[in-house]
Amino acid sequence: MSYLIALIPALGWGFMPLITGKIGGSTINQMFGIGAGASIVGIIAFLIGHPSVSTGAFWFSIVCGALWTIGQIGQFVSFKRMGVSNTIPLSTVFQLVGNSLIGVIIFGEWRGARALTIGFIALLVVIIGALMTSITDGSSDKKVTVQNFFFLLVTTIGYWVYSAFPKLPVVSNEDPLGVFLPEMLGILLGSVIYTIASGHLNAFKQKKQYLNILGGLSWGIAALAYIFAGRALGVTVAFVMTQMNVIIATIGGIFILNEHKTGRELTFTIIGILLIVLGSVGTIFA
């Protein structure tokens, strides 16, 4: 049962970009949908579980959730520029490499020569996999350009902050279920701030603003399941299982969202995905 629960994050995070891609709408529509849907899941989980959370951790979690929106906005913009099948593998690699380096440099993970060697070899495999998924024959307008590459890389900073925050002293001893709701509310707050700052308040009158809540529900359920999977199997094993979302989102982008790839591009993409998953698994041995 624990392993079935651990598959929910992979499914939820894998299907989210496919759901929002099918629904369509602007980045603002999609971002609000994620925030609203995730908040609904957070409120339901809070009412059922009645977890405790300190005032400081509550507000800190809201801020971290709002910062997460930077990464998600970067993803949604990149979906439109490069396509889901190109964006997800790169985004996954940026998150994995960045989070690993933060863990090593700031939190002292991968201690010793053996751990560092295994960890960095695994990251190298992941990077090679990402480069292979980015190979293009130039037959599509949605391709990985230098500009698109660095835009996605810079916005991934939001994901790095979000991933690092559970390890910070202010929340490290809190109940993960307790900080879940304020995190989700922070994501909603960040999406509203983005809407206002963009000057597109008319988005709240658009149907797709609310249809994209379906994508937010998928994301929120996945995030909630990840908490329970981490408790049952350990964070390391649970994280590795979530990497299956790369397979779902990338293949789904090609066959469900009809993102064109030549036979050669598809071959390199599949090999690249396998390397990303292999490298991700390899990091647990570091």
Long-range CB contact pairs, 43-51, < 8 A, 24+: 43/181, 43/184, 45/177, 45/180, 45/181, 45/224, 46/177, 46/180, 46/181, 49/177, 51/175, 51/177, 51/178, 51/180
Minimum mean pLDDT range among 177-181, 207-211, 259-263: 259-263
d(CA 24, CA 10): 22
The pLDDT, as a whole number, for residue 168 is: 84
Identity of the residue numbered 236: T
Nearest to 177 by CA among 70, 68, 69, 44: 44
**Average predicted confidence (pLDDT) for the chain:** 91
- 64-113: pLDDT as tens digits: 999 999 999 999 999 999 999 999 999 999 998 998 888 888 888 888 89
The tokens for 262 are: 């030549």
Reported as a pLDDT band with limits 50, 70 and 90, residue 4 is: confident
Percentage of the chain with pLDDT > 90? 69
Average pLDDT for 10-17 = 95
Most confident of 27-41, 220-234, 250-264: 27-41
User: Is 233 a residue whose pLDDT tops 80?
Assistant: no
pTM of the model: 0.90
Q: Given a cut of 90, is residue 144 above it in pLDDT?
A: no
pLDDT confidence of residue 120? 93
Residue 140 — pLDDT band, cuts 50, 70, 90? low
pLDDT at 240 over 80: no
What tokens were used for 116?
Answer: 């560092």
Report the residue count for the chain: 286
Which residue, 135, 153, 12, 1, is CA-closest to 70?
Answer: 153
Banded pLDDT at 232 (limits 50, 70, 90) = confident
User: Is 138 a residue whose pLDDT tops 70?
Assistant: no
Residue pair 52/171 in contact by the 8 Å Cβ criterion: no
Q: Is 104 exposed, middle or buried (0-12, 13-18, 19+ CB in 10 A)?
A: middle
Task: Measure the CA–CA gap between 177 and 166, rounded to whole angstroms.
Answer: 12
Helix 84-105 × helix 146-155 angle, to 10° = 50
Non-local CB neighbours of 158 within 8 Å, separated by 6+ positions:
67, 68, 69, 70, 71, 72, 73, 74
pLDDT the model gives residue 139 = 64
Residue 136 has pLDDT above 90, yes or no: no
What lies within 8 Å, CB to CB, of 15 at 6+ separation is 218, 248, 249, 252
Per the rule left: phi > 0, alpha: psi between -120 and 50, beta: everything else, 54 is beta
Rg of the chain, C-alpha, whole Å: 18
Q: What would the pLDDT profile of 24-61 be if each residue is shown by its tens digit?
A: 999 999 999 999 999 999 999 999 999 999 999 999 99
Residue partners of 234: CB distance under 8 A and separation at least 6: none
pLDDT at 165 over 90: no
Terminal CA-to-CA distance of the chain, rounded, Å? 27
